[in-house]
Chains A and B, each alone.
Chain A
């Protein structure tokens, strides 16, 4: 990501030390959790009178 154009193919293999891929996945897991819980309570709201 840091060296555009140079070794596009190989850079995917040799891991970039500044990569934040784990961070991205982590926050998306957090996001998923927020959505699941919210939808769950929304379902309770719809189901109840």
Chain B
């Protein structure tokens, strides 16, 4: 199984991955600062200087962290993972990766310029008929197209490995990177369609009107698998890297592959659960997608079991006894384990909130309240990002030929503690205020002195406290990243890739049958979307002209 696995990632591939990480961490700095400012504004005790608008920095925050940081980090990580487990990229694959990187970077700069010039304060969801400058849409398109090229390099590397190793299951990390790449490509077709067919011609003045519901539906066809595109690389680390870090074994290679396939199948035909309270969609179709959404919970239930089982098996192999004796023997002083572990814990309330959000009419209790913001700051901004930080602590020094020193390791754990405390305040207060009705995506407002709005303000102060602690965490993280990239002592840092236990059964080849899985994916999408989509087009109202209301 380890035929082509190399000890270290090739320098040239490492450079490509690092290029992605530089952009990702610049995004973290900018987006984090924007986030801090938002929480301060919402506390009511601070106003933005120099005529900067709240919604402008909110757009920066969402675009730069939700789209830029994630996509760059994930593509960099996956390229490195594939290079490590399936062999160095060919020159052609690497070139395609570089073209992808530069397209993504150029697109990011274009979109960022438009946001900074206040020509695109449309938030990262850019719902029509708010109309941004055409260059904003072109920039986003380039980011997506660039990511497809990165994805192409991953697919080509996978295909080459399979050809060289007939009849063998691909290395687990390569397999997982491939699933996430396919998920991304299938999902981004939706957002690419609305941007290229609807929004871009409309913003250029080529067409007058846009169909708002179709655009939103295409966006959310993309928007939910987007969150799984963020989550799956974290799961890659949880399933494959963490077992090696703690010195244990992968609980089950087959089950890990199965859960990834289930994510591919069920994370796409579920976009309506973001549109539960909107007109123009029959509630029966909404409910159907709610059922499909519940199916995507299953692979996460499997993951929860696998992770606990990995930890317990390891603990017992070290002689731990009792029900929870294994908890004590885990390597808590190792940031590569502890930081992602905190992320895993946060996924428990994150998942609980997610089930509630997707629960059809229960969505009315929380829809577009700040509960939702609290929710995805647990999923993306804690579970996923702490895992990405945990990956950074070994991957960046591995690629730069440096080491994670004891001092940096300690700082990394402190960083995660800051994160956990800050997020408990911020996300906790967001969840609570959301249940009381406080809206998301809103600047500070007393709503004409309403009693209900006054109840929300203490929670907003708590969010600002949490946001400030989180910002300190971001500064720590940037300090660690810069050290690992440029200053840490030279040495060899391991790229931990877990192995399955010797007793494990052979991985069935059916998981590599892409005709089958892509076929089912497409069928499920057609099943969930065809009829409602035809309804939307047949019963469409007159389209909307563009508005610039910021």
A19–B317 alpha-carbon span in the complex (Å) = 10
Known: A22-B312, A22-B326. A42 touches B305 (CB 8 A): no
Cβ of A9 < 8 Å from any Cβ of B? Answer: no
Cβ of B323 < 8 Å from any Cβ of A? Answer: yes
Cβ of A6 < 8 Å from any Cβ of B? Answer: no
Cβ of B440 < 8 Å from any Cβ of A? Answer: no
- Is the pair B356, A37 in contact by a Cβ cutoff of 8 Å? yes
| B305, B317, B327, B366: the one within 8 Å of A17 (CB) | B317
* Most chain A CB within a 10 A radius of its CB, from B311, B316, B317, B327: B316
Which residues of B sit under 8 angstroms from A42, Cβ to Cβ?
359, 362
* Chain A 1-30: CB-based contact to B (< 8 A → 1; otherwise 0): 000000000000001011111110111001
A44 CB to closest chain B CB (Å) equals 5
Cβ of B453 < 8 Å from any Cβ of A? Answer: no
A41–B353 alpha-carbon span in the complex (Å) = 10
B265 CB to closest chain A CB (Å) equals 22
Which residues of B sit under 8 angstroms from A41, Cβ to Cβ?
356, 359, 362, 365-366, 435
| A17, A21, A44: the one within 8 Å of B365 (CB) | A44
A44–B366 alpha-carbon span in the complex (Å) = 10
Which residues of A sit under 8 angstroms from B309, Cβ to Cβ?
20, 23
Shortest Cβ distance from A15 into B: residue: B321
Which residues of B sit under 8 angstroms from A17, Cβ to Cβ?
316-317
Cβ of B514 < 8 Å from any Cβ of A? Answer: no
- Is the pair A45, B365 in contact by a Cβ cutoff of 8 Å? yes
A16 CB to closest chain B CB (Å) equals 8
Shortest Cβ distance from B315 into A: residue: A22
A3–B316 alpha-carbon span in the complex (Å) = 18
Interface size on B, residues (CB 8 A): 32
Which residues of A sit under 8 angstroms from B362, Cβ to Cβ?
38, 41-42, 45
Shortest Cβ distance from A29 into B: residue: B348
| B313, B349, B361: the one within 8 Å of A18 (CB) | B313
A22–B366 alpha-carbon span in the complex (Å) = 34
- Is the pair B323, A21 in contact by a Cβ cutoff of 8 Å? yes
Which residues of B sit under 8 angstroms from A27, Cβ to Cβ?
301, 304-305, 308
- Is the pair A23, B321 in contact by a Cβ cutoff of 8 Å? no
B112 CB to closest chain A CB (Å) equals 38
Which residues of A sit under 8 angstroms from B325, Cβ to Cβ?
22
A1 CB to closest chain B CB (Å) equals 13
Cβ of B355 < 8 Å from any Cβ of A? Answer: yes
A18–B348 alpha-carbon span in the complex (Å) = 25
| B304, B313, B361: the one within 8 Å of A20 (CB) | B313
Cβ of B445 < 8 Å from any Cβ of A? Answer: no
Shortest Cβ distance from B364 into A: residue: A45
A19–B359 alpha-carbon span in the complex (Å) = 35
A48–B452 alpha-carbon span in the complex (Å) = 15
Which residues of A sit under 8 angstroms from B316, Cβ to Cβ?
15, 17-19
- Is the pair B352, A22 in contact by a Cβ cutoff of 8 Å? no
Known: A27-B305, A34-B355. A48 touches B365 (CB 8 A): yes
Which residues of A sit under 8 angstroms from B313, Cβ to Cβ?
18, 20
| Additional A-B contact list (10), CB under 8 Å, known A15-B321, A38-B352 | A15-B322, A17-B316, A22-B322, A22-B323, A22-B326, A22-B327, A27-B305, A38-B355, A38-B356, A41-B356
> What are 18 A-B contacts defined by CB distance under 8 Å?
A17-B316, A17-B317, A19-B316, A20-B312, A22-B322, A22-B323, A23-B311, A26-B308, A27-B301, A27-B308, A30-B304, A33-B349, A34-B351, A37-B352, A41-B356, A45-B361, A45-B365, A48-B365
A interface vs B, CB < 8 Å?
Answer: 15, 17-23, 25-27, 30, 33-34, 37-38, 41-42, 44-45, 48
